[in-house]
A and B are shown apart, each in its own frame.
Chain A
Amino acid sequence: MENTYHVGMADLVVVSAPAKLITLGLGSCIGLVIFDPVAKIAGMAHIMLPDSRGAKSTEKVGKFADTAVPAVIDEMIKKGASKARMKAKIAGGAQMFALPDAPTDFLAVGSRNVKETTALLAKTGIALVASDTGGNKGRTVEFSTDTWMLTIKTLGKGKADI
């Protein structure tokens, strides 16, 4: 039986295979997975916001894209992963509500999360091999170290592996 880990909002979990990483009900947040299939190590973060400017230093590192991405990489390296072999997958970043006649920057935080996370991965040199982002539907994601696949469940659309 594999070990199953639930990654809560702003949490960050790094595991050795065999394991399953699950995040329920991603809306505007991002489910980021980074994995090294040779060292058999995977990490997942549930990112809420694009950047930590103005945040208190005591806040969880998994909360912001700019703190979560380096933290997952560091944790994985500590467990024996190699940065050169790391690959990433992301899901989430939806916009749950659209208001046609109001300034809604705060409702578009999902797309800013996607942009920031993608940019940070590119800067770090980690290949983003699959992604399922945007839209207006919530996602539940599950990453298995058996297949290194990210299974995404969306209301009304069923399941998809990326």
Chain B
Amino acid sequence: MLDLSSFNNLQLDAIREVGNIGTGNAATALSKLLSCMIDMDVPRADLVSIYSLAEYYGDPDALVAAVFVRSLGEFGCSLIFIQDEEDSAMMVNLLLKQQFGDSLPAEMPQEMLDSALSEVGNIILSSFLNAINMLIGTKHQISVPGVAHDMLASILEVVASIFGQMGEMALLVNTELRVGDGERSISGNIIMLPDPEALELLLRKLQVL
């Protein structure tokens, strides 16, 4: 099995580039969905201790909203779209305004909001994954999304427990999307967690293994 602690810079660079391709596709899809400008950061590929994941992202106690999907194709991985609760609410509101226009009711039931959030998350993560599947020639198949609202530390325990079964390091492909250029832009992070076999497949296809 691949030992994450022996990863070299060339391999991390290759994975970062994969993140870049995925994020570009996700940004385009989100831009179409919301009909507005999307800005993206250069992705990072980092090896992080599973014991300090929450600190890597921010305040462990912070309230966040997250959408989780699982790739069911040959390239097995988990994908999470994670945002501050406030940013998530703003993004959902943008989408609903887009759909309902001025007839948008002031108070929406939580199920409706979560359904909109899972739709945004699904489009972002599915586009991200699709770009990677196209790049390495694997079949694209994705699960129905799951949504959670909770403390950052609790959400990231999912990541820690996945990587914790193999060791003490997590490989995170991490990228930020920003919506709008007004006073308050909306941010969100895409996290890709490739399975060990998928990581090997990816590195082999990119000819860095």
The reply to whether B155 and A138 form a contact with Cβ atoms under 8 Å apart is yes
The reply to whether A24 and B153 form a contact with Cβ atoms under 8 Å apart is yes
Q: Is B164 close to A, CB under 8 A?
A: yes
How many A-B Cβ pairs are below 8 Å? 99
The reply to whether B51 and A138 form a contact with Cβ atoms under 8 Å apart is no
- B contact residues around A97 at 8 Å (CB): 66, 68, 146-148, 158
Chain A window 92-108, contacts with chain B (Cβ cutoff 8 Å), 1 for yes, 0 for no: 00101111111010110
The reply to whether B154 and A94 form a contact with Cβ atoms under 8 Å apart is yes
A8 to B60, CA, bound (A): 11
Q: Given the interface contacts A63-B164, A94-B154, A155-B151, does A99 sit within 8 Å of B70 by beta carbon?
A: yes
Interface size of A by Cβ–Cβ distance < 8 Å?
33
- A contact residues around B50 at 8 Å (CB): 9
The reply to whether B155 and A96 form a contact with Cβ atoms under 8 Å apart is yes
A59 to B4, CA, bound (A): 15
B-side interface residues toward A, CB under 8 Å? 50-51, 54, 60-61, 63, 66, 68-70, 72, 143-158, 160-162, 164-165, 167-168
The 5 closest A-B pairs by CB, nearest first: A138-B154, A25-B153, A27-B157, A27-B154, A97-B146
Can you list 11 A-B pairs with a CB-CB distance of less than 8 A?
A: A9-B51, A10-B51, A25-B150, A59-B168, A96-B155, A96-B157, A96-B158, A99-B68, A106-B162, A139-B154, A155-B149
